[in-house]
Amino acid sequence: MGGSLGTGPEASGLICSGVGSFGSLTYTVQMKRTAHGLLCLLLLTLAGCAEPERRPSMDVCTEGAQCELGYCIDGHCLDPMGDEDLDELLNGTEVALGTDPFSPDTDQDGAPDGQEVVDFLDPADEDGDGRIDALESSLLDEDCDGWSDQSDADFSVPYAENLVESGGGETYSGWSIDEGSWGSTLGGDCSEAPEPTSGSKFLVVGSLCEGGGSGGFSQISQKLALDGVAVGEEEVYAELSAMLGAVYDDTAAVLLLEPLDATGASLGEPRRYEATDSPWVELKETVLFPPQTRTIRLSLRAEREESGPLAAVFDELEVRLLTCPEARGLATSEDPG
């Protein structure tokens, strides 16, 4: 909103000209050197100074500047002196502490946030690890060391390192070609190429930007060794995450995970994940493998039944062993097949 003063030859004989708005009125002004010129200046000054209407508590927002009281939390204007979830902590205090102003029990352990914080100037931290008790559950043991998260100052993330090499296409290391063609490319190399979700490159299975292809499929793969996992004692849990997508119509981006034993023999049909939408589609899955699994074969494939361009893209590929599945409430007695 606002107005502008005319200058230069085109404004000759004018005291002001401009377009602006005041309230719900949108106006255009262009006045000669008359007494009405003062009114023009007044309108433009008011328009330039008028502030946008601010939204009341609980209205939707994207930033604090839109809200009457300056707080925008989880897409809603919030009164910092209110207590939206009735947990005996003011909304402003919850924002400062990192607890959820819309949930009376942020860590879901049965104790309200206000009861766990006690003194908001010096909130309780039982294990002294820098994370207050209201943010750490007294019921969960996420790293399976026998201590609840709230009592465990030596908490460790229950995931092994990412087993996938070059999961974002920054290099070709680790991958081998099984069928067709593949490569890695930069975003924007051609009109069909999406921007990578991280880094500067992504993996392409098939032929991107070339407009060719004859149907069928292209595939690459790598073997992920499960070092340090005891054989035959318990099922193997893995956390899979990836970004993928099919570039052309009638094409599928396929990710396969196949468990192999110590001899390299398959232990069953590969787990198959498929996306036919354009990039990017997010994939997150916890996968259960047989106890005899020593290697996982990860395959990336582009498929197409009809003749035509064939390309699938992949980025941010991760396969991590879940070293503490019981912390996630996962059954360990099921036969994975």
Domains and CATH numbers, the chain: 9-49 (no CATH), 82-156 (no CATH), 176-327 (2.60.120.260)
DSSP codes of every residue in 248-298: STT-EEEEEEEEE-TTS-B-SPPEEEEE-SSS-EEEEEEEEE-TT--EEEE
Question: Residue 271: helix, strand or coil by DSSP?
Answer: strand
User: How large is the average pLDDT for residues 152-156?
Assistant: 81
pLDDT at 280: 93
* Cα dist from 49 to 20, 45, 46, 111, 290, whole Å: 11, 6, 5, 49, 69
How many angstroms separate the CA atoms of 274 and 314, rounded? 12
- What is the identity of the amino acid at 267? L
How many angstroms separate the CA atoms of 334 and 337, rounded? 9
Longest C-alpha distance within the chain, in Å? 97
pLDDT at 75: 83
- The tokens of 208 are what? 């991107």
Peptide bond into 147 cis (omega under 30): no
pLDDT at 141: 79
pLDDT at 232: 54
pLDDT at 1: 41
How many angstroms separate the CA atoms of 156 and 194, rounded? 36
Neighbouring-strand partners of residue 242: 283
User: How large is the average pLDDT for residues 8-12?
Assistant: 37
The more confidently predicted of residues 49 and 145 is: 145
pLDDT at 31: 35
Contacts with 329 (C-beta within 8 Å, 6 or more apart), sequence order: none
Give yes or no for residue 167 having a pLDDT over 70: yes
> What mean pLDDT, rounded, does the chain reach?
79
pLDDT at 242: 96
Contacts with 164 (C-beta within 8 Å, 6 or more apart), sequence order: 174, 222, 224, 298, 317, 318, 319
Q: What is the pLDDT of residues 97-123, one digit of tens each?
A: 999 998 999 999 999 999 999 998 999
User: If we measure between CA atoms, which residue out of 330, 325, 261 comes closest to residue 296?
Assistant: 261
User: If we measure between CA atoms, which residue out of 170, 146, 151 comes closest to residue 316?
Assistant: 170
Q: How confident is the model at residue 263 (pLDDT cuts 50, 70, 90)?
A: very high
Neighbouring-strand partners of residue 273: 255
Give yes or no for residue 26 having a pLDDT over 90: no
Chain center to CA of 191: 25
DSSP codes of every residue in 52-99: PPPBPTTSB-SSGGGBTTS-EETTEE--TTS-TT-SSS-HHHHHHHT-
Q: How confident is the model at residue 10 (pLDDT cuts 50, 70, 90)?
A: very low
DSSP, res 322:
B
The more confidently predicted of residues 11 and 186 is: 186
- The tokens of 50 are what? 């008028």
Question: Residue 241: helix, strand or coil by DSSP?
Answer: strand
Give yes or no for residue 20 having a pLDDT over 60: no
Q: What is the pLDDT of residues 301-330, one digit of tens each?
A: 999 988 888 999 999 999 998 777 666 555
User: If we measure between CA atoms, which residue out of 15, 9, 71 comes closest to residue 39?
Assistant: 15
Does an H or E element contain 43, and which? helix 37-49
Q: How confident is the model at residue 185 (pLDDT cuts 50, 70, 90)?
A: confident
The more confidently predicted of residues 337 and 114 is: 114
Q: What is the pLDDT of residues 58-99, one digit of tens each?
A: 888 888 889 988 888 878 898 889 998 999 999 889 989 999
Q: What is the pLDDT of residues 197-253, one digit of tens each?
A: 888 899 999 988 765 556 688 999 999 998 765 555 678 888 999 999 998 889 999
pLDDT at 163: 93
